[in-house]
């Protein structure tokens, strides 16, 4: 019963995983050094906030796209046993 149910909810689950990854970066600003903290540090040192945050946004975008492709590739292969 679990594999067919997981197959149906896998696209939504991938979206939720990406939302958690991006949300943890926003919440991580409080407790740990993350990409947004590094961008904030760079802009405070050289006053180039636009460039620092555009670069951080691009890196977050690449992380989200890469994670989506990896999960969409690995899910059917390893969880469902198909090569689709």
Compute the distance between CA of residue 23 and CA of residue 43 in angstroms, rounded to an integer. 22
For 4-47, what is each residue's pLDDT tens digit?
888 889 999 999 988 888 877 666 555 556 788 888 899 999 99
Compute the distance between CA of residue 14 and CA of residue 65 in angstroms, rounded to an integer. 11
In sequence order, which ranges of 1-84 are alpha helices (DSSP H)?
2-31, 35-46, 49-74
Compute the distance between CA of residue 41 and CA of residue 18 in angstroms, rounded to an integer. 25
Residue 83: the pLDDT is: 59
User: What pTM did the predictor assign?
Assistant: 0.71
């Amino acid at each position: 019963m679990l594999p067919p149910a997981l197959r149906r909810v896998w696209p939504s689950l991938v979206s939720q995983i990406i939302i958690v990854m991006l949300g943890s970066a926003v919440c991580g600003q409080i407790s740990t050094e993350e990409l947004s903290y590094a961008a904030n540090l760079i802009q405070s040192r050289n006053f180039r906030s636009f460039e620092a945050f555009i670069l951080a946004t691009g890196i977050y975008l690449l992380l989200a796209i890469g994670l989506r492709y990896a999960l969409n590739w690995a899910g059917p292969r390893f969880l469902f046993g198909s090569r689709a």
